[in-house]
Structure 1
């Protein structure tokens, strides 16, 4: 067999390109998606029969304004913005990893990474922010001030610049520029 061929691929393949492709596939960043709606039901969720974590997981059912239902599995690792207690009837937004495999059921069911209760004059986004603190979709740029709290999920201070990371951003008004700019109320770094 020629050295430029893979054992499983009968065609010529440049190994340098293959290594680059393989690295790019392995280093995909987490892509967040969200769903907003009204909480219709909260109940215990049992990940397995006779599981020692019984009672630690919840299933939160939301109904969107257009009538589409969705379920979020709430785990002990799910971060609740402002540590809000969410109850039936609350308007919330749930964020999940859109790259994660999901089971094909109706209504759709996702593992919640972040849950945010909708509060007037307050926006929440979860995304990857680059070295210029611009979101992965290019729609939001963060302008930090000395008074902007940058925290870990356990409410301890994060003492580094929060660029090139997945962030939970709590913010208010934005400019009408592209990308929209804002001075965040609070940033939580997802380590």
Structure 2
């Protein structure tokens, strides 16, 4: 099971990343370096399959959050290097949560409960409509205001179901 972990900071560089010595896939992979406010640096390997929230383009200087699998094997190097599963550029009035949501639509870390409204878009990663219940799945959730309860509750703008 994927255990999503987030790292938030400013993009300090974007470079091509070669995955093999043959050059096959050249230009398809990127290495995005992100530094948080404490000076900690993380490199994200961005593959063609990495999902960018709202398909937004990112650039050096942008504030972003990278989501990765905390249970995945990683090379023992500095700075740490993680395979990005989801990347989200900071946007005013929009929060992003990537996690497993149970049958009650509560995140695995018990910090967010989703209250789906008729206007909440529920989509697949390819932009097509998802017509089933999104519970018990890994979800990318974009939302605004939350309640001050535990867990916090929100009515999301959009839910992306990660199949």
What TM-score range do you get, normalising by the shorter chain? Answer: over 0.9
Other-structure match for 1:108:
80
Q: Any residues of structure 2 matched to 1:29-108 within 5 Å, and which?
A: 29-108=1-80
When normalised by structure 1's length, the TM-score is 0.84
Runs of 4+ with deviation above 2 angstroms: none
Q: Secondary structure at the match of 1:95?
A: strand
> Which stretch of the first structure deviates more once superposed, 171-180 or 45-54?
45-54
Counterpart-to-counterpart distance in 1, 2:23 and 2:157? 39
Number of residues paired by the alignment? 163
Larger gyration radius, structure 1 or structure 2:
1
Structure in which a larger fraction of residues adopt helix:
1
CA shift digits 1:123-175 (9 cap, x unpaired): 00100000000000111000001111000000000010000000000000000
1:132 equivalent in alignment to 2:104: yes
2:135 counterpart (151, 158, 163): 163
When normalised by structure 2's length, the TM-score is 0.99
Q: Which runs of 5+ in 2 are unaligned?
A: none
2:117 counterpart (145, 157, 171): 145
Q: Which runs of 5+ in 1 are unaligned?
A: 1-28
> Comparing both chains, which one has the higher relative contact order based on Cα–Cα distances under 8 Å and sequence gaps of 6 or more?
2
State the shift of 1:51 in Å. 3.4
Q: Any residues of structure 2 matched to 1:9-24 within 5 Å, and which?
A: none
> What root-mean-square deviation, in Å, do the aligned CA atoms of Structure 1 and Structure 2 show?
0.5
Counterpart-to-counterpart distance in 2, 1:59 and 1:174? 33
Q: Secondary structure at the match of 2:54?
A: helix
CA shift digits 1:25-57 (9 cap, x unpaired): xxxx21000100100000100001013211100
Counterpart-to-counterpart distance in 2, 1:125 and 1:65? 20
